[in-house]
Structure 1
Amino acid sequence: MNQQKPEGAKVQISKNGPYIVSGDVALSKEIIGANEDGESVKWEQKQKYPSHGQYALCRCGCSANKPFCDGSHTKAGFDGTETASRQPYLDQAKVIQGPTMSLTDVESLCAFARFCDPHGGVWNLVSATDNPSASKQFLGQVCDCPSGRLVAWDKQTGKPIEPVYEPSICLIEDPAKGCSGPLWLRGGVQLIGGDGFEYEVRNRVTLCRCGASQNKPFCDGTHASIGFSDKN
């Protein structure tokens, strides 16, 4: 699952403080678009932020200048201890076999974006991947999963099927649930822990920005249950 590191695209986690982004990584806001039944069906870009070579993104959820850090973590006494597994993705993953594709799933990485749910859910669709329409639906839903919890694999080649992203960070908004979601790292941005540990470089990961995840630095969906908003 490791992919080549883009030159300079990096997020450094500071101890009990913000995410320090370097390498001129593009920052934008993306909305989870829902259908009339409230199901997540598409991504919609809402806003692009001006380019910065280096910037600090709030990790505690308390900044009055979100998404950027304003030092509020110090006053709030934020505990940003990293508790997530540091094992490679595939060492943690459950594998579900289908006829032409398989699905890997690491449930602890779920960011509650819910693209996996329509059409009976990807866990059922994988068994119908020899059907062209079901296969297309399955791939679309899996590849829209921002956290990389879910990955589709071509059984003939043994390789993952991934969307192509430039190194970038998106701020997720979830109007259907009335909350702001995590930071979405895309395109192989290197994540470095507060102790210098280099997390596995992946195409898609989501990082907590509400401050309340029990799986830091990764999002665990808590933003939805607490109604986190990045409106200042």
Structure 2
Amino acid sequence: MTMSRTDALVTVTPGGPYMVTGGVPLATLTILTDAEGESETWTRGDALPTPAKYALCRCGQSARKPFCDGTHTGIDFDGTETASRASYLEQAKVFDGPVLALMDAEKLCAFGRFCDPHGQVWNQVAHSDDPEAKAMFLQQVGNCPAGRLVAWDKVSGTVVEPSLPVSIGMVEDPAEECSGPLALQGGIAVIASDGFTYEVRNRVTLCRCGESRNKPFCDGTHAAIKFKADYPVTESPTA
């Protein structure tokens, strides 16, 4: 669904970390909430110093998070990839509206909860012919970190995607008192441990707590187990 920057890659290693190549910027992405405690917007921190190639923890146990320190080799980490390899369109259910349609691939949910405010996006799509409702709908759908939710413009026959820089965000979720997934933005290709290339999309979330049942993608388990990434180290990792 999205063109990738050909040198920006995340490769899943067998039982080990994510290898990031192409000099992809890495920074904290924090979910900000409104007065009612509902997810409203994102704030991005300063980029960490990183080399052109670096390894990100996938087991959730590294003492140098977000970077890998080899801990996965000494624990019972099961990194088996179980996610569907079907395309997004094959997985998505469609909710129709007068101007826009909402596509929803529920298994990709990373529990960002941007879909919930203002009566939930599944209800809002029915009012997409109202300019104010349409704008709110597109904002909420575009904030979905996993790209579980995608808006379809029925007039132009195209998806409506936010313009995102090629980057990786370490999601922090203060409202849930936990750390979330790695948010890949801007069309970064993800290569499976057996060499398969997952569909390249503008918004993807990868598990970093080690407990997702939809590896390598996030399934929201981090919130249930209250995963904590602590504070990321600031020194540049070795490549």
The 5-angstrom pairing of residues 39-54 of structure 1 reads 39-54=38-53
Aligned to 1:165: 164
Separation (CA, whole Å) in 2 of partners of 1:226 and 1:73:
19
Separation (CA, whole Å) in 1 of partners of 2:156 and 2:5:
25
Deviation readout 1:119-145 (Å, 9 max, x if unpaired):
000000000000111001100000000
Aligned to 1:80: 79
Report the residue type matching 1:152 in the other structure.
A
Separation (CA, whole Å) in 1 of partners of 2:135 and 2:3:
27
Aligned to 2:148: 149
Separation (CA, whole Å) in 2 of partners of 1:143 and 1:95:
16
TM-score for both structures, normalised by structure 2? 0.95
| Contact map agreement 1:206 1:219 (CA 8 A) in 2 | yes
Aligned to 2:121: 122
Aligned to 2:24: 25
Separation (CA, whole Å) in 1 of partners of 2:35 and 2:51:
37
Aligned to 1:67: 66
Separation (CA, whole Å) in 1 of partners of 2:99 and 2:205:
28
Shift of 1:165: 1.4
The count of corresponding residues between Structure 1 and Structure 2 is: 231
Aligned to 2:139: 140
Report the residue type matching 1:11 in the other structure.
V
| Contact map agreement 1:21 1:57 (CA 8 A) in 2 | yes
| Contact map agreement 1:148 1:204 (CA 8 A) in 2 | yes
Shift of 1:166: 2.0
Separation (CA, whole Å) in 1 of partners of 2:7 and 2:45:
26
Aligned to 1:179: 178
| Contact map agreement 1:20 1:54 (CA 8 A) in 2 | yes
Shift of 1:5: 2.1
Q: After the TM superposition, which parts of structure 1 deviate over 6 Å for at least 4 consecutive aligned residues?
A: none
Aligned to 1:213: 212
Q: CA RMSD in A?
A: 0.8
Deviates more, 1:68-77 or 1:43-52: 43-52
Separation (CA, whole Å) in 2 of partners of 1:66 and 1:72:
11
Separation (CA, whole Å) in 2 of partners of 1:205 and 1:39:
21
Shift of 1:158: 1.0
Separation (CA, whole Å) in 1 of partners of 2:108 and 2:114:
14
Aligned to 2:221: 222
Q: Partner of 1:48: helix, strand, or coil?
A: coil
Deviation readout 1:165-220 (Å, 9 max, x if unpaired):
12110000000000000000001101000000000010000000000000000000
Separation (CA, whole Å) in 1 of partners of 2:191 and 2:50:
22
Report the residue type matching 1:138 in the other structure.
F
Which runs of no fewer than 5 residues in structure 1 stay unpaired? none
Shift of 1:151: 0.1
Determine whether 1:197 maps to 2:203. Answer: no
Which runs of no fewer than 5 residues in structure 2 stay unpaired? 232-239
TM-score for both structures, normalised by structure 1? 0.98
Shift of 1:77: 2.3
Deviates more, 1:45-54 or 1:92-101: 45-54
